[in-house]
Amino acid sequence: MCGRYSLTTPLEAVTNLFGVAGRPNFPARYNIAPTQDVPVVRAADGDGDGDRRLDLLRWGLVPHWAKDLKVGSRMINARAESAAKSPAFRTAFRQRRCLVPADGFYEWRKLPGGTKQPYRITLKAGLFAFAGLWEAWHDPAGETVRTFTILTTDANELLMPIHDRMPVILAPADYDAWLGAEDPAAVQALLQPFPAAAMVATPVSARVNNVRNDDAACIAPVAEPETAIGDAAPAQGELL
């Protein structure tokens, strides 16, 4: 799954990579958590400002038929294998796909004794995008709340010793296809584990465990914990 991530890259670099219109005010974030408003790239829907736009959406998809906004806290992720058929995600999968900018995400590795070590997973290339889905939900007062979810898939060789799932990360060459392709098979084919050799996993402070902590100390590297007996070492990539 993906339950926390970071976006510390300057906004100008984000707009340059994704070619977006709109520049929402968004400071560096080191510990983004569900239900928070964060930048999401969507198709511009012919509004005359380019092919893509960058807006702040709430993390945790709320289907249009939901009665309560709270349901979104249970829908921060959608399984890539089943999203196209899931009642909660299938309409968004067909019509409202999005890109979620990030420069790192966190997973927790179980250690002997029951403790968990957080790792920050990054790409050697820097800024990247998760594959996401978005939805518009209308509250009883008529206000529209736009929400999103992050798709997940099987872990690659780097992530396997840490967690059995990982967010779907898209290559820049696939951004247009993810946002606009209509062939279901072509869209589904994009939802693969990202190459492990292009990624790095770094143990970080347990400070990231608390959503109230959102500063550079959250991504500061710490010493690698002792490997649990029987743990498999990553086949590719770098585990620092």
| CATH number of residue 173's parent domain | 3.90.1680.10
User: Does the pLDDT of residue 119 top 80, yes or no?
Assistant: yes
Q: Which of 2, 98, 135, 218 is an active site residue?
A: 2
The verdict on whether 2 is a catalytic residue reads: yes
Q: What is the pLDDT of residue 237?
A: 57
- Determine the pLDDT at residue 236: 43
Flag whether pLDDT at 49 surpasses 80: no
Which range has the worst mean pLDDT, 15-19, 37-41, 42-46?
Answer: 42-46
Query: 19: alpha, beta or left, given left = phi > 0 and alpha = psi -120 to 50?
Result: left
208 DSSP 8-state letter = G
Higher pLDDT, 140 or 239: 140
79 lies in which domain range? 5-239
Choosing from 12, 98, 107, 238, which is the catalytic residue? 107
Number of domains in the chain: 1
* 135 classed as catalytic: no
